[in-house]
Amino acid sequence: MKANSKSNTKTNITKFRTTQFRDVRRLHSEFIKLAEHLISANPNAMVPAVPPSVTSAGAGTEEDEVRVKALMQRWFNYVCSNEVLMMDDEMLLFVESDFGYSPMIKRKQPATGVRRKLLKQFAPPPDDTPELAESRPIVKLFYLGSMDAGHKVDRLVKSRRGIYSPRPHSNNLQFG
């Protein structure tokens, strides 16, 4: 199902070429592409999930269309209320594109290999709240301890499998 959203858009941000855009039409899939870009490009901002293209009112009904449009408007209002997200150039492209929307800026891949090692040399950014700053070492110790416990359990399972596996040249099972 391709849900189509049509709206008139107003803005007071100076980056846009005008303050009003009439008859802006976007598919549900385009909203999803925008959300995926905003999530990957702005990890410091909260981007909610895009509402589904069909509601419980049933696909194709007038009530469904009204609900979907209201949910999409609510989602878009939330995204637009975030100053960090509004400064993203993709928001400009999303509204101003005449013929649909496709992200122009490619997502940055997660740091791997040499780049990741270089980034890990730097201290983590300071936490704004003292409670978070104090809990960071505790959470890290818990994480490392749980990883260590997981490795030990894996080794134990592998060793027990070896003990309880049947011997290759016998007709019956032998344990231990």
pLDDT (tens digit per residue) in 42-80: 888 888 998 887 777 777 788 888 888 888 888 888 888
Based on the domain organization, do 72 and 156 belong to the same domain? no
Residue 2 pLDDT: 45
| Residue among 140, 100, 147, 120 nearest 6 (CA) | 100
- Closest Cα partner for 33 from 104, 110, 134? 104
Lowest mean pLDDT among 13-27, 60-74, 138-152, 156-170: 13-27
| Average pLDDT of the segment spanning 89-118 | 71
Q: Of the segments 3-17, 47-61, 115-129, 141-155, which one has the largest average pLDDT value?
A: 141-155
| Whether the predicted pLDDT of 109 surpasses 80 | no
Contact present, 96 and 16 (Cβ < 8 Å): yes
Is residue 109 situated within a structural domain? no
Q: How confident is the model at residue 174 (pLDDT cuts 50, 70, 90)?
A: very low
Q: Are residues 81 and 10 in the same domain?
A: yes
Co-location of 72 and 19 in the same domain:
yes
Radius of gyration over every alpha carbon of the chain, rounded to an integer in angstroms:
26
Domain boundary among 78, 96, 114: 96
Query: Is residue 83 a part of any domain in this protein?
Result: yes
What are the structure tokens assigned to 168, written together?
A: 């290759």
Position 105 in a domain: no
- Band of residue 153 on the pLDDT scale cut at 50, 70, 90: very high
Judge whether 107 lies within some domain.
no
Range of the domain at 134: 123-164
| Residue 83 pLDDT > 70 | yes
Q: Are residues 128 and 91 in the same domain?
A: no
Number of separate domains in the chain = 2
